[in-house]
Structure 1
Amino acid sequence: MIIIYKYQMRILALSALLFTLASCNEKKKPKQEKDPINKEVKAPKDIISLNEASSIYNNYTKHRISVIENYELEQRAPEKEFIPARFVDFDYQTIKNYIAYVDHEASKAGVKEVTKLRLYFANYPNEGKFADGKKVVHPRQNSIFMVPTLDKNGENHGFYIGEDGKAKLISDWKQNNKMEMGANSLNPNIKSHASMIPSFTLNSSLLAGTSLVLNRGNGGPPPKSEF
């Protein structure tokens, strides 16, 4: 009887040990995050209604389209057909990749926080190619480009990554360009070409670094079923 009792006690002790180990393992397991599809996300405060979107779209039609058409068809290039752009879109994944890229580059450059994505209005040249050799798909059409900003002294400034890997202000780059171009235009050793047009040679250091500007989305008239 004593032998059986000791055997039973050993079984109980072993069972208790296994139960304790199992409980510890359960506690160590990381909590599984909720399915992102089912996770509730609050709508941004700046979401507008479809009615409001349609209203401001129609305002653009009424107050801007005719002005653009008249200029393009009467002054800029009367001999060419022109249809004003009404939208610019980017692949959804491109935007996600762009934000991830900006965050990554900004973090490496020591930027504490990317404060905004600033959208600039732009206009494509009446040419077949851009300066980098890529095709201009929609000559003369309006477009946008995006620039990330950082905070400096309470103001938001567009930035890029300098050659030294640090964040630099685009406004400083622009000012340096102007100063360099002005110096070159006054330099008698720099010859002019094509009659009276001066030849500007920018210092290569002004062009070094990494741009964070996103452009070249798709543009054109929207589907007739929208707005």
Structure 2
Amino acid sequence: MKRPSILIGKFLCAIIISASISCNEQPKEQDPKKPEKPVVLAPQEIVPISQAKNMYDSYEKRRVPLIQRYEDSINKVTKNDKEFHVGRFVYYDYKTIKQYLEYIEQEVADAGVEISTLRLYYSNYPDEEFFPKTKDSIKHPRQNSIMLSPTYNDGKRDYLFYIAQGAKGKEAVPMNNSFEPIKVEYGHNNDTNTKAYASFVPTTNPTKAAPAILQGEESLTLNRGTGVPPPKNQ
């Protein structure tokens, strides 16, 4: 039987030889065609699943019954025997969202402004065909929905806006929080690099035309998502 001291000696030699070989190995060069992918940290606004479940259940308890009773009462008055389903979520195809973000970034770059926030508005379709003569005609009137709309900041507050064609190219036309055009005095925006329009006609009357220096109305507000319930594609 070999002595323990001999076995320990051989074990230590093996470790020394292995370490020596490792030290002599050259580090593998990184493939320049495959740069390291940066790590994206999770936003602080992400909530735990348990909290998401709690908020979902709270809506189920405190909002769904109110909406259901209200819509059922309308059905009784109008003698509409069609059952109303309270919507619980709205979704968009992921590629649509990516296209939307790329599109609004492209348009605001042309207008010389920066997006400060992306608002998600609660909305509700009327009890009628909302997009007539198109493939997007609302098949489930009175359903809740959401609208996505970007804002820009003039140094004091965030503004909803749309894009119009001005004398020097695309310009951002500000609106208030209710999607109504507003008046912004000349010099109100201190950023000399921005092309945010600074003197829109001071009216909330949609029949009154905008000044001649601006043409067209390019909306940046996204809607027409799919609500559930009713069931998908019905």
Please list every run of 5 or more consecutive structure 1 residues that lacks an aligned counterpart in the other structure. Answer: 1-29, 182-201
State the AA in 2 paired with 1:71: Y
1:160 equivalent among 138, 159, 162:
162
Q: 1 CA distance for matches of 2:148 and 2:34?
A: 33
Secondary structure in 2 aligned to 1:34?
coil
- Per-residue CA deviation, residues 125-171 of structure 1 (Å, 9 max, x unaligned), is 11134257441032111000011011113211111102321011122
- Per-residue CA deviation, residues 34-57 of structure 1 (Å, 9 max, x unaligned), is 365xx4210011111111000000
Q: Which residue of 1 aligns with 2:216?
A: 208
TM-score normalised to structure 1 length:
0.67
| Percent of aligned positions that are identical | 36
Q: Aligned residue pairs: how many?
A: 171
Equivalent pair of 2:85/2:230 in contact (CA under 8 Å)? no
Q: Is residue 174 of structure 1 aligned with residue 199 of structure 2?
A: no
- Per-residue CA deviation, residues 46-92 of structure 1 (Å, 9 max, x unaligned), is 11111100000000000000000011110365523100000000111
Q: Which residue of 2 aligns with 1:119?
A: 120
Equivalence map 1:1-227=2 (5 Å): 31-32=32-33, 34=35, 36=37, 39-75=38-74, 79=80, 80-111=82-113, 113-130=114-131, 133=134, 134-164=136-166, 165-171=170-176, 173-175=180-182, 179-180=204-205, 202-205=207-210, 208-221=216-229
Task: Give the helix-richer structure, 1 or 2.
Answer: 1
Equivalent pair of 2:115/2:150 in contact (CA under 8 Å)? yes
Equivalent pair of 1:87/1:222 in contact (CA under 8 Å)? no
- Per-residue CA deviation, residues 73-121 of structure 1 (Å, 9 max, x unaligned), is 103655231000000001111111100000000000011x211110110
Q: 2 CA distance for matches of 1:136 and 1:222?
A: 12
Q: 2 CA distance for matches of 1:75 and 1:104?
A: 44
- Per-residue CA deviation, residues 3-36 of structure 1 (Å, 9 max, x unaligned), is xxxxxxxxxxxxxxxxxxxxxxxxxxx9545365
Please list every run of 5 or more consecutive structure 2 residues that lacks an aligned counterpart in the other structure. Answer: 1-30, 183-200
Secondary structure in 2 aligned to 1:174?
coil
Instruction: Note the aligned Cα RMSD (angstroms).
Output: 2.7
Q: 2 CA distance for matches of 1:33 and 1:72?
A: 57
State the AA in 1 paired with 2:174: L
Once the 2 structures are TM-superposed, how far is the Cα of residue 178 of structure 1 from its aligned partner? 5.0
